Structure 1
Amino acid sequence: MHKLILGICFYFICIQDTTAQVLNASANADTKQNNADLTALADPTIDTKQPRIDFFASASVPFGMVALHPDTHQGNGLWNSGYRYEDKRILFFVHSHMVQTPGIACMPVVGKCKGNLGIEANSSAFSHSNEVIRPGYHKVKLEESGITAEMTATTRVGMHRETFPACDEAHILFPLSARLADVSVSEAFAKKISDTRIGGYAVLNPTGRRKQTCVIYFVAEFQKPFDNFAGWQGTQLVEAIDGQIRGKDAGAYVTFRHLKANEQLRYKVAISYVSIEGAIKNLEAELPGWDFDAVAQRAKQQWNDYLGRIKVSGGTKAQQIKHYTDLMHTAIGRRIYSDVDGSYMDRGGATPVVRHIPLNGHGQPKWNAIDMDCLWGTQWNLNILWTLMYPDYGNQVAQTLVEYYKNNGILGRGQWGGQENFTMTGDCSTPLLAALANNGRAQFDLSTAYAGARKNAFPGGVRDHAGYDSIGTGGGCDWYVKLGYVPVEIEKRGDGMHRGGSGMTLEYAYQDWCLAQLGRQLAKNEDAKLFTLRSENWRNVFDSAVGWARPRHENGNWVTPFAPIDLKKKGEPRGFIEASPATFSFYVPQNLPGLINIMGGKEAFVKRLDTCFRETEKYRFICPGDWQFSYVDYSNQPGCHMAHLFNYAGAPWLSQYWVRKVKELTFGGTDYKSGYNGDEDEGQMGALGVLMGIGLFSVQGCVGENPQLELTSPLFDHISLQLPYGEGFKKYKTFNIKVIRQDQEKDIYIQSVKLNGKTLNSFQLPVHQILQGGNMEIQLGPEPNKNWGITKAGS
């Protein structure tokens, strides 16, 4: 009876979590997921040889504030940090692995306390043979101490269960001043709250990406009273003064004495970016009990619910593993930033302000604030998935951006720790807002969103800022409005990065088009005309004499010398941003007929694009050394749409061929050395891998008056899409894709398609038809059917 009561209490507490409500709403009876454990097919260790700090995730839930797991390398930057598969020692366990807001490390040890001797002195060897890793759970044995550590999590609380050997004393260390990736700590604080609870914070120093300080707070609760609370400052162990430890290089620890063999310690660590009190609220609301197995099971179920929205069968086991791992990646990069009561810290002004998300009729926050990198390039990956499959989450991202505009006057690219980071370039949030709006998926204030997006299209908005440009002169928006392009002279302005005028111009033109579609949705017809006209500014940086986009001077002259790729140079190509002029030349999704025409017509376009792919196949479609070198580069965002462009030039069979090649060579790996091959920015390449695997894409990012998807050949025999709809997206419709083929490897070309029993001859499928639910049957064969798919939808 006691266990039953605890289970019931735990259930009702869990359903209070806003994220669980948003992401795990029950489907209709006819679309209910079965009990298959999809987490067994998601492998967090894929491509973890030298990952970003946020790349690996185990003990967490989808989008959870807590991402708890071992760190094996501190690193000095974004990359090559966190959990690295080849490392032999665990440094500590960390509760937040967000790129710019990580923190709260802990480490269980036995024997005399050595917290003051540094991280390496308290690290431990480990072996993968004694490790269990899956979404929602992590288990590992610390070989030198003999401690077996298990971890799981709710949205804002990490839970530990550690089994100890017999020992006179054991300690849980909290090295609060530990550097994580490129984030250092200026001050750490911890205090004893009770005999079972401590709390504190770490003040995170500004970085090149996050210009202001940020504070991460925590509270740790232990199942049984600890025997002592103390700490260290620098290299000296110190006693707590008035129950407190404070300092620049400070840490804290609790001690348990006379543990028996196989005795278990359970403890919970909640975090908050608002206050210690906020962390306590998160702890008490989400995880009041001590049933570790129940928490781990709940985390597994949340992952299964998330992964189950795109279920696949058939194909190879490796392809299924990569599919679910890709899908997992889409839910671990951007994470919840607000507390369970809707409080979050806004650092967009001169003084930090605690904001409060409005509550619904049940007294719960209507949405969650999201801590995130920018949305640069998400129109070809995450935006499509958010629009189709995860509009609940896409709306939280959008709402965070719109709310920041309401409070701080700028609709930004993404916020770290409650402050705009000006990562990359352009107003890359506009395509997401337009995609959600154009497909009837928006559940944010469209008028406010449009006002912010429109402001960005003129001087005074986010386009004034280049990458990490705090001055606000490096974006060249004034030149763009005056000249119709951003000249190469932009490289002399501002204090940021990525000041590539032609690349900016191509981005701004597409974003103008997206803004026109958003304006049309709100009957802003004059604006729609203006921004549609401006969307043709791509022509101003396209030199038809050489057939490529090209850097241009303010006086109108083209920059010389010029080559679409340059094997002699390294670094960011002059006039472009993290891609060669060759790759950026195809960045015209808003007017593909115009691009095809300026490149010489369909036949010439297909020949050029096919040559680009054949030239880079030997490099697996990634940069062989630097951004300058590659005609096609699937290690970064600007060219993620290129394989799908053959569809629009009358050769859909070549899209089918090259999409399959890219999927296999670039994104097919399932070991710790491969799988993403580049800039897996918070799940973008994972999302692209999912879309390629299921044969659906949108070159225009699901934006337009009647947004379209493009079809290519799926990897799997059956795909079941659970499509959320309704208020809060709590109901589901099912769209099933059945694939008929004889040979998994050879049958890669579409022979015919039936949609709800009717023949479909177009390579395009309107998004609204997918969202209605239904059935599609795709017949594949070993040779191209050059009569299928050569028309656009409605032609």
Structure 2
Amino acid sequence: MNKFLFGLLLTSCSALGGNSQYVNPFIGTSNFGATHPGAQYPNALASVSPFNVAHGGEQNKFEKDAAWNSRVYIHENRYLTGFSHLNLSGVGCPDAGVLLLMPTTGPLELDAREYGSSYSNEQASPGYYSAQLNKYAVKAEVTSSLRTGLSRFTFPAGQSNVLLNLGLGLTNETGASLKWVSEQEVEGSRMLGTFCYHDEDVRPVFFVARFSKAPKTFGVWKKMPRYQNVEADWIGYNDSIKPYPGYRQLLSGDDIGAWLSFDTREQEAIEVKLGISFVSMENARENLDTEQPGFEFDKLRIEAQKAWDALLDRVEVEGSDEQKTLFYTALYHSLIHPNILQDANGDYPLMGQQGVGNSKQNRYTVYSLWDTHRNVHPLLSLLYPELQADMVRSAVAMAKESGWLPKWELYGMETQVMVGDPATAMIADSYLRGIRDFDVNAAYGAMVRAAEQREHNLLRPENPDYLTLGYVPVDDEGPYDGSVATSLEYYLADFNLAQLALALGKQEDHDKYLARALNYRTLFDADTGMLRPKNRKGEWLTPFDPELGRNFEPAPGYIEGNAWNYRFYVPHDTPGLIQLLGGPEAFLRQLDATFDTGNFDMGNEPDITYPFLYNYLEGQSWRTSRRVRELIAAHFGNHPGGLPGNDDTGTMSTWLAFSMLGIYPVSPGMMDYALFRPSFSKVKIHLSAEYYPGKQFVIENPVGDLDSDKPEAFTLNGRSIDKPFVTHEDIIKGGVLKVK
């Protein structure tokens, strides 16, 4: 679909005039961005998304990806089998995408291969999605709140049906149960887990669904294996679906569902609201009663849009509608995860153990920290410190419950995906930015445990070698262990621990962990200029190909990249790395070569700060502006493929948001932002009065110089800035930054 048509569709849905009108939820729904265009409330547990990644034959061109499909929606696919109510955004491994509602007409069909439909006339805006289901002439509309979804299906005259499918989903787990409570209410649960095939994380999600109209008939179904006897040998099976009309007892199985049938008038609308909980069906019902006491679709939709405007309006920008769409959609994606986990009554599942906790503050989940500690959490700290404070408190509470800070936490389960100790960096960085209303002593204790415990260390499993050698050796490395990558993540965590120790008056700890953080030098190979794998004997890995891993193939020493992608990944000591690489001129040549040889990967995290490293070279910040401008033009756009790959729970979108503002945080634990030419002629950031002393921070950039390659000059509140950096403290005091 033409990107301008996308703009017309999304702006036609906006009536309140806030910045949500510029959001295009279709951005990232192609090119493996893994976002979805469904109805999403800010940082909400529930969302309602079209599900089009099952079945469909030629209509679903990417069906072959289903075995490793982390997306509930792919823009190129055209066969819809329902609307899922628990969804992840921008994630690279499959899970969730469950609790599917599907409207149909005519004789009852319970096989998703048959009842799915093509669709047209899609519209999407924050908190709203609609489409016409071509097979049935049904208009489907969905909206949502924090813990509930609401669907409105407008039917033609005749027999109409609503199906609730508990078999379909992205999760690797199977198993569900359901029970009709009355003719207009059904309750149940669906198993989730085995994220990235880590089989220790399994948990049910509970739901209650309620219908606005009593049906003519209702029931449940179950997919049954039909075994075939060929010459007395059982050789296989074909699936068949068995309906149970009017069945009111508990039904369990791997592939089950519920259905209702109605006699509808022409253009009669039937609404379905569904509440979820990770604690109990009773809590799911309470969530539903609390957030949706009635069936008021338009009211709920407006409430969602107002919630988005309240957040998006904290930043005002002056530029074209196209630029605003890119920016506000990026901000939108950064405010989906982490999302709340607790129920309306405060209940939530405890981390790493059985049982239920209760919190009067928001408890968050979905911590993709290997990705998000780099820029998402610094963005939240700057623009939405009240949200970040709750997220830090949640992470510290997880450590109190399980003994460990989160690494890649999902719905109260630690998946142990990726490497490093990113929670240490995230929490320390937040504290240094002024977010201090959390138990910092408990946080510090959990960080020290991760840094010091040698055996059975959930966060730093490579600690025995790391503490002995000062690096993680390549010996015994698995295909995705990444000894160099892991070492570099540990160095960054130790740097952040050192900075927090200094802020807490722990000088000895500061000196100790800072020394550890500088051990990256032991992996620097002067002959190749790379951070190179070593074995336990201190010998370089040989043979060594710096480009191996460029196409995501396993590369000894590196995670999801090659040696070039990790060459400058010492964000806490870029000046020191410049000297190791031979000084400013040599560093400039090698930094340019990273981009010019195609060894910069915009679609992954380790090297996303590299465009801003030019700022460390005197007189070269204009190169940062040029690189950023080129990368935005090449990898981002107002169309479904407008992200460079997995959004990684908002990380790629946050890169774009910061880049368009003309400021970028150089490293967790460092309070400097690199300065360069923004995409807008003017930016106004409204600062939180609760956390920061200034009212607003303004960035002014002459319109005629937006595409200039001339060296910039910066002034802050009328005084010249010698170096192209501004501190977090300067920003939160408020003022005016001018780019000349």
TM-score, normalised to structure 1's length? Answer: 0.83
* 1:518 and 2:500 correspond: yes
Q: Cα RMSD between the aligned structures?
A: 2.2
Amino acid at match of 2:99: I
Deviations 1:59-96 (A, max 9, x none): 12111111102111145355463111122221111111
2:84 to 78, 84, 94: 94
> Residue 608 of structure 1 aligns to a residue in which SS?
helix
**Distance in 2 between the 1:610 and 1:288 partners?**
59
**Distance in 1 between the 2:324 and 2:456 partners?**
40
Amino acid at match of 1:200: G
**Distance in 1 between the 2:161 and 2:467 partners?**
62
CA contact (8 A) 1:231 1:237 kept: yes
**Distance in 2 between the 1:752 and 1:520 partners?**
33
* 1:643 and 2:643 correspond: no
Amino acid at match of 1:432: M
CA contact (8 A) 1:221 1:268 kept: yes
Amino acid at match of 1:734: Q
* 1:40 and 2:28 correspond: no
What's 1:189 paired with?
A: 177
* 1:388 and 2:382 correspond: yes
Tell me by how many angstroms 1:102 deviates.
3.5
* 1:236 and 2:226 correspond: no
Tell me by how many angstroms 1:373 deviates.
4.2
CA contact (8 A) 2:370 2:408 kept: no
* 1:112 and 2:107 correspond: yes
**Distance in 1 between the 2:736 and 2:33 partners?**
39
What's 1:292 paired with?
A: 297
Tell me by how many angstroms 1:385 deviates.
0.3
**Distance in 1 between the 2:662 and 2:380 partners?**
16
CA distance 1:461–1:119, shift in 2 (3 Å)? farther
> Residue 316 of structure 2 aligns to a residue in which SS?
strand
* 1:679 and 2:646 correspond: yes
**Distance in 1 between the 2:502 and 2:406 partners?**
22
Which structure 1 segments of 5+ residues have no match?
1-33, 358-364, 467-474, 617-629, 780-795
Tell me by how many angstroms 1:599 deviates.
0.2
> Residue 398 of structure 1 aligns to a residue in which SS?
helix
> Residue 270 of structure 1 aligns to a residue in which SS?
strand
CA contact (8 A) 2:681 2:700 kept: yes
What's 2:569 paired with?
A: 587
CA contact (8 A) 1:490 1:501 kept: no
Q: Which moved more, 1:409-418 or 1:206-215?
A: 206-215
Amino acid at match of 1:91: T
1:384-423 matches, within 5 Å, as 384-423=378-417
2:273 to 268, 271, 275: 268
CA distance 1:109–1:538, shift in 2 (3 Å)? same
Amino acid at match of 2:420: G
CA contact (8 A) 2:550 2:561 kept: no
What's 2:332 paired with?
A: 328
Tell me by how many angstroms 1:546 deviates.
2.4
**Distance in 1 between the 2:299 and 2:379 partners?**
30
Deviations 1:493-535 (A, max 9, x none): xxxx631111111111111000111112222221111101101
Tell me by how many angstroms 1:743 deviates.
4.9
**Distance in 2 between the 1:421 and 1:590 partners?**
27
* 1:426 and 2:420 correspond: yes
* 1:736 and 2:698 correspond: yes
CA contact (8 A) 1:457 1:463 kept: no
> Residue 554 of structure 1 aligns to a residue in which SS?
coil
What's 1:25 paired with?
A: none
CA distance 1:567–1:226, shift in 2 (3 Å)? closer
**Distance in 2 between the 1:599 and 1:526 partners?**
30
* 1:599 and 2:578 correspond: no
What's 2:191 paired with?
A: 203
What's 2:211 paired with?
A: 222
Tell me by how many angstroms 1:663 deviates.
2.1
> Residue 189 of structure 2 aligns to a residue in which SS?
strand
Q: Percent identity?
A: 28
Matched length: 692
Tell me by how many angstroms 1:750 deviates.
5.0
Amino acid at match of 1:710: A
**Distance in 2 between the 1:88 and 1:422 partners?**
35
* 1:341 and 2:349 correspond: no
CA distance 1:139–1:464, shift in 2 (3 Å)? closer
Tell me by how many angstroms 1:205 deviates.
5.2
CA contact (8 A) 2:33 2:646 kept: no
* 1:156 and 2:124 correspond: no
Tell me by how many angstroms 1:563 deviates.
3.1
Deviations 1:373-400 (A, max 9, x none): 4211434321220221122222233222
Q: Which moved more, 1:655-664 or 1:298-307?
A: 655-664
* 1:138 and 2:129 correspond: yes
1:485 to 445, 466, 471: 471
What's 2:737 paired with?
A: 776
**Distance in 2 between the 1:406 and 1:592 partners?**
35
CA distance 1:195–1:38, shift in 2 (3 Å)? same
What's 1:302 paired with?
A: 307
Amino acid at match of 2:44: G
Which structure 2 segments of 5+ residues have no match?
1-14, 55-64, 89-93, 224-240
Q: Which moved more, 1:436-445 or 1:44-53?
A: 44-53
What's 2:8 paired with?
A: none
**Distance in 1 between the 2:24 and 2:455 partners?**
41
**Distance in 2 between the 1:205 and 1:327 partners?**
28
What's 1:125 paired with?
A: 118
* 1:713 and 2:699 correspond: no
Deviations 1:438-463 (A, max 9, x none): 12113221111111111111235886
CA contact (8 A) 1:58 1:69 kept: yes
* 1:165 and 2:156 correspond: yes
> Residue 574 of structure 2 aligns to a residue in which SS?
helix
> Residue 447 of structure 1 aligns to a residue in which SS?
helix
CA distance 1:272–1:602, shift in 2 (3 Å)? same
Tell me by how many angstroms 1:197 deviates.
1.8
* 1:174 and 2:164 correspond: yes
CA contact (8 A) 2:622 2:712 kept: no
**Distance in 2 between the 1:355 and 1:768 partners?**
36
